[in-house]
Amino acid sequence: MDDVTAARVKAAFRHVNRAMVMLWRLGLGRWVNIWPSGSGRILVIGHTGRRSGLRRWTPLNYANVNGELYCTAGFGATSDWYRNVTAEPRVEVWLTGERWMGVIDEASDHPERIRLLRAVLVASGFAAPAAGIDPRRLDDEALAAATSSYRLLRIRQVAAAEPLPPHPRPGDRIWWWAAVAGGGLLWHARCHQRQHGP
C-alpha cells in the first residue's frame, strides 16, 4: 500500500472508530461483536494522550489466544494510540459485558509473532483485507513481509488503583434511545394533529 492510500485508509478508520465508540456508549457493544467474521472482534481501550493528558478512546480488533488478549497497531509506530500506550501502558478496557483496567505490553518480538498476529488479523474481519492483507491465504513468510511495520501488543488485566469513572462507559448514553423514541412519538402526534385537527 502506497503512502497516499495508507493516509486515506487511516483517515477512514478514524471516522469509523469515532462511530464505533459511540455505538458502545449507546449500549450496542454486543451487537458490534455479533458478526466476528465480518466486522471482527472488537474491544475499546481508553488511553491517556501523551501530550494532552486527556483520555482517548480507540476501538481495536483483538484475538483471545490461550486466555491472553492480543491486538495490533496496523499503522505501526506512527499510530497515535500506540504512541500513547507506549508512553502510558495503563488502559481501560471495554469488552462485551466487561470493563476493567489493563496494561498493554509490547509483544512484537514474541517468538510466535506471526502466529499471534495472524490470529488478530483473522479476528479483524473486514479490516485486514481492507488494508490489503489476507491472513487466511498468506503463508508465514508473506505475512511477515506484509506486516513488517505492524506492532503486536498484549493486554493484561490488572487491579484498578481506584474505582473506574462512571463516564464514559459502555451504555452510558443508552438514554438517547428514550429521547429518540420520545421525539418520534411527539413528531407523530403533531403530524396526526395537523391531518385530523385537535
Asked if residue 121 belongs to a domain, the reply is yes
Confidence of residue 186 (pLDDT cuts 50, 70, 90): low
Domain that holds residue 25: 3-170
The tens digit of pLDDT for each residue in 103-135 reads: 999 999 999 999 999 999 999 998 899 888 999
Asked if residue 47 belongs to a domain, the reply is yes
Query: Domain containing 90 — which CATH number?
Result: 2.30.110.10
Check whether 3 has a pLDDT greater than 70. no
Peptide bond into 168 cis (omega under 30): yes
Tell which wins on pLDDT, 156 or 132. 156
Taking alpha carbons only, the member of 74, 83, 23 closest to residue 51 is 83
Which residues are CB-neighbours of 23 under 8 A, at least 6 positions away?
Answer: 29, 31, 32
Asked if residue 24 belongs to a domain, the reply is yes
Asked if residue 188 belongs to a domain, the reply is no
Tell which wins on pLDDT, 11 or 134. 134
Asked if residue 179 belongs to a domain, the reply is no
CB distance 125 to 62 below 8 Å: no
How many other C-beta atoms can be found within 10 angstroms of the C-beta atom of residue 38?
Answer: 8
Asked if residue 195 belongs to a domain, the reply is no
- For the chain, the domain total comes to 1
Q: What is the mean pLDDT of the chain?
A: 88
Asked if residue 181 belongs to a domain, the reply is no
Q: What are phi and psi of 101, to 5 degrees?
A: -90, 145
As a whole-number percent, the residues of the chain with pLDDT over 90 amount to 64
The tens digit of pLDDT for each residue in 49-105 reads: 999 999 999 999 999 999 999 999 988 899 999 999 999 999 999 999 999 999 999
Which residues are CB-neighbours of 134 under 8 A, at least 6 positions away?
Answer: 128
- In this prediction, residues 2-14 reach a mean pLDDT of 65
How many other C-beta atoms can be found within 10 angstroms of the C-beta atom of residue 60?
Answer: 26
